[in-house]
Amino acid sequence: MSDLVRLEKVTVRYGREPVLINVDLVVDEGDFTGVVGPSGSGKTTLLKAIAGTVRPIAGHVLRDRDAAVGYVPQVETVNWYFPITVREAVLMARIGGRVVPWPSRDDVRDAEAVLERLGLGGLAGRHIRELSGGQQQRVFIARALLRRPKLLLLDEPTSGVDVRTRHDVMHLIHELHHDGLAILLTTHDLNGIAAHLPNLICLNREVIATGRPNDVVTPSVLERTYGAPLEVLQHGGMPVVVDRIPGLEPAGAEVIPLREGHHEHPA
């Protein structure tokens, strides 16, 4: 295994506000890592720093120059009214190496193959807005895959989709990992996504903890990451985070202290 990306003491600022502070991170070939943290904790900025679109004010981002990076943005950032078909969106990835506007036969063949593999065969001529949430997400994964990346960065790949679509998208990402891609994704979903990943980074501008879900999804790490007390149960060998708002339990519910040192708000 060799490093695809190595971040050393990376600090990023937007204006005066530091967004990432002293972040150390290594992504190896075959890694599968989730980044969790509250809104504004620097998750997307971390992906952008790895992708090279955000420059740190301190520290270094070292990338394997031979390893292409595929980036899948949050679907919320996509302009769904842009006039673009699935085929046009996916073929965008084939940038450079060809001066004429139309794609080569190889480009078209590769795009068709990727679309077929991701279950989008037959939808190439559709406008991207005509697809379901899961299909839309897969279009942008297909575009990233057409770059033949070794590392796939996914920003909130399951935000705003229903449970079944989330399962489909996560199965697809797991398959891509099995095929040898290194995966780094951000998520807000601790139970539905993060707990199922081999490795997690808890981020709140700085790295709070890294490790397997069972090691880092703990009340103390989560409180340092999210700034709010969270309860963690075990279910089927996986941590389950209980997001209970003290003082707002339903009438008649048994009030259990979150953990030692934290007192319930009087009901």
Partner 1 sequence: MSTLLDPFGYDFFVNALLVATLAGALCGLIGVYVVLRGMSYIGHGLSHAIFGGAVAAYALDVSYYLGAGVWGLVSALLVQQVARRRTIGADAAIGVVTSSSFAVGIVIISVIGTFTQNLEAALFGDVLGVTVPDVVAVGAVTLFAAGVVFFRYRELLFATFDPEVAEVSGVNLAATDTLLALTLSALITVSMNVLGVTLIAAMLVIPAVIGRLLTDSFSRMLAISVGVGTVSGATGVYLSYHLDWPSGPSVVLTAALIFAVAYVFSAARRRAIPEAALDAHAG
Distance from C-alpha of 190 to C-alpha of 38, rounded to nearest angstrom: 11
* Cβ contact 72:144 at 8 Å: yes
Residue closer to partner 1 (CB basis): 70 or 239: 70
Which one of residues 57, 60, 106, 132 is an interface residue with partner 1 (CB under 8 A)?
132
Q: Does 65 engage in binding with partner 1 (CB under 8 A)?
A: no
Q: Which pairing describes strands 151-155 and 69-72: parallel, antiparallel, or unpaired?
A: parallel
Q: Does 238 engage in binding with partner 1 (CB under 8 A)?
A: no
Residue closer to partner 1 (CB basis): 89 or 202: 89
Q: How far is the CB of 214 from partner 1 (least distance, A)?
A: 33
Write out the two tokens for 210.
């890294």
Q: Does 79 engage in binding with partner 1 (CB under 8 A)?
A: yes
According to DSSP, the residues that pair with 186 across neighbouring strands are 35, 155
Q: Does 131 engage in binding with partner 1 (CB under 8 A)?
A: yes
Q: Binding mask 88-107 vs partner 1 (x if CB under 8 A, - otherwise)?
A: xx--xxxxx-xxxx------
For residue 95, with 0-12 CB atoms within 10 Å meaning exposed, 13-18 middle and 19 or more buried, which class applies? exposed
Q: Does 163 engage in binding with partner 1 (CB under 8 A)?
A: no
Distance from C-alpha of 256 to C-alpha of 56, rounded to nearest angstrom: 44
Which one of residues 147, 167, 188, 244 is an interface residue with partner 1 (CB under 8 A)?
147
Residue closer to partner 1 (CB basis): 69 or 161: 69
Q: What are the C-alpha distances in Å from 246 to residues 44, 97, 233?
A: 30, 58, 17
- Closest to 20 (Cα-Cα) out of 4, 35, 2: 35
Angle at 226 between CA 223 and CA 232, to 5 degrees: 50
Q: Does 245 engage in binding with partner 1 (CB under 8 A)?
A: no
Distance from C-alpha of 108 to C-alpha of 158, rounded to nearest angstrom: 28
Residue for token pair 């998208």: 169
Q: Does 71 engage in binding with partner 1 (CB under 8 A)?
A: yes
- Closest to 206 (Cα-Cα) out of 11, 1, 5, 17: 11
Q: Does 138 engage in binding with partner 1 (CB under 8 A)?
A: no
Q: Binding mask 13-52 vs partner 1 (x if CB under 8 A, - otherwise)?
A: -x---------------------------------x--xx
Q: Does 130 engage in binding with partner 1 (CB under 8 A)?
A: yes
Binding part of the chain for partner 1, among 108-116, 127-135, 160-168, 181-189 by CB under 8 A, reads 127-135
Residues that bind partner 1 (CB under 8 A): 14, 48, 51-53, 69, 71, 73, 77-79, 82-85, 88-89, 92-96, 98-101, 126-127, 129-132, 135, 143, 147
